[in-house]
Amino acid sequence: MSCSSSFKKSSCLSRRLSRSLRSYTKTASSGTISTAASQPDFYLASAEEEEEGGESWSTMLPELLSDILERVEASEDQWPSRQNVVASACVCKKWREVTREIVKASPASGKITFPSCLKQPGPRNLPNQCIITRNKKNSTFYLYLALSPSFTDKGKFLLAARRYRQGAHIEYIISLDADDLSQGSNAYVGKLSSDFLGTNFTIFDSQPPHSGAKPGSSRASRRFASKQISPQVPAGNFKVGQLSYKFNLLKSRGPRRMVCSIKCPLPANTTSSHTVLKNKAPRWHEHLQCWCLNFHGRVTVASVKNFQLSATVDPNSGGEVDNETVVLQFGKVGDDTFTMDYRQPLSAFLAFAICLTSFGTKLACE
């Protein structure tokens, strides 16, 4: 998630904000806030215009700054308008710290603002709707946040992954940069590793899922072949999930069956919860004479890759949950276009990794 557009925006500052802030400060000090002053248009200013206006953004009153950024965060709740929140964080260090705290204060919303949000739980109520596109020529996959109901509109780029063959195994390297897909990259966020048959997968995170977590000692969990690396870059990967496809020895018709055991992040970001995900059972449609799942219009092409997963363990209460609640659904809408909808307790990173396991032939499971 590049901030180049945000920096451009922060370099073009309108004097309208200065006038609005001065008006807001005067009315706030007198104890009354007018409607026009309480809803100013927020823009970001350049250093030259700050000096011309005689105001310094970095020395703004903390209460006033928090109030402004809270209004921006609340009003710009969806992309592309949410780029204003990112632009606010690019003004200076103080603005960045306050913006991060405000975004962090509402984890239940599942809004995607900064790259770190890709590893936070999704929304609690309505799922985040995403699009996955596939490039068969270079075995690359791209994840976008959908900005419209159209399947042809890619939307906001989030993550990219590329499939590599490591001997008899397959690995998917997941990155924030669509053009730099390597474990040594600063944009590297994790990977997915499979066994020889492509039926068992392990999800690795580049960062510890909770405080005190230690990287795996196996060869698959290593990030670099050499030990001579920067101490600021973790040398290993952290295991955050396992996924297994069940063998279909009787060749019965229906979607693939899978079981996921995931360490899902909690909103507090202090620990992680163990969650088990299983396929939602399809229903036999007498008229169509086939097994069907209700994707609510988000899937248009029949495919063995289509699936819906529900959580069998509630990470908040530790009890059973309604198996009808779908926390992740994935389906085909075109030759190389798929939809991915996820919600709590999954993050965008975990949901994307799970969906990547559906690509590829699994003769023993179909």
pLDDT of 329 over the 90 cut: yes
Are 95 and 187 within one domain? Answer: no
Residue of 196, 172, 195 whose CA lies nearest to 182: 172
* pLDDT > 90 fraction of the chain, expressed in percent and rounded: 23
Rounded average pLDDT over 218-234 = 47
How confident is residue 85, by pLDDT bands cut at 50, 70 and 90? Answer: confident
- Asked if residue 140 and residue 102 are part of one domain, the reply reads no
* 332 Cβ contact partners less than 8 Å away, ≥ 6 residues apart: 299, 300, 301, 302, 303, 305, 306, 338
> Is 318 among the domain residues?
yes
Instruction: Check which CATH number belongs to the domain holding 277 and give it.
Output: 3.20.90.10
Indicate the burial class of 361 (C-beta count within 10 angstroms; 0-12, 13-18, 19 or more).
exposed
pTM for the predicted model, two decimal places: 0.76
Note whether 143 and 241 are same-domain residues.
yes
262 and 298 part of one domain: yes
**pLDDT tens digits for 141-198?**
999 999 888 888 888 999 999 999 887 788 999 999 999 888 888 889 999 998 887 7
- Same domain as 320, residue 261: yes
Q: Is residue 31 part of a domain?
A: no
Q: Say yes or no: 91 and 171 in one domain.
A: no
Indicate the range of 135-139, 216-220, 235-239 predicted with least confidence: 216-220
CB half-sphere exposure, 356, CA atoms < 13 A: 32
The reply to whether 160 and 78 lie within a common domain is: no
Q: What's the gap between Cα 293 and its chain centre?
A: 25
For residues 249 and 324, state if they share a domain: yes
Residue 135 lies in a domain: yes
Range of the domain at 297: 128-211+233-357
Domain annotation covers residue 363: no
Residues 148 and 94 in one domain: no
Last residue of a domain, one of 106, 136, 169: 106
**pLDDT given at position 356:** 95
Cα–Cα distances in angstroms (integers) from residue 258 to residues 2, 132, 191, 199, 277, in the given order: 35, 20, 19, 9, 8
Check if the beta carbon of residue 266 is closer than 8 Å to that of residue 315. Answer: yes
Q: Considering only CA atoms, which of 355, 279, 268, 354 is closest in space to residue 312?
A: 279
In a domain, 169, yes or no: yes
Of 277 and 22, which is predicted with more confidence? 277
**Tokens in use for 294?**
């209700």
**32, part of any domain:** no
Tell me if 354 sits within 8 A of 243, measured CB to CB. Answer: yes
- Structural domain count, the chain: 2
Q: Are residues 87 and 158 in the same domain?
A: no
pLDDT at 105: 65
Asked if residue 97 belongs to a domain, the reply is: yes
Q: What is the pLDDT of residue 254?
A: 59
pLDDT at residue 41 tops 60: no
Are 242 and 172 in the same domain? yes
Say how far apart CA 346 and CA 146 lie, in whole Å.
17
Domain assignment present for 264: yes
Check pLDDT > 80 for residue 7: no
Same domain, 71 and 189: no
Res 327: pLDDT: 93
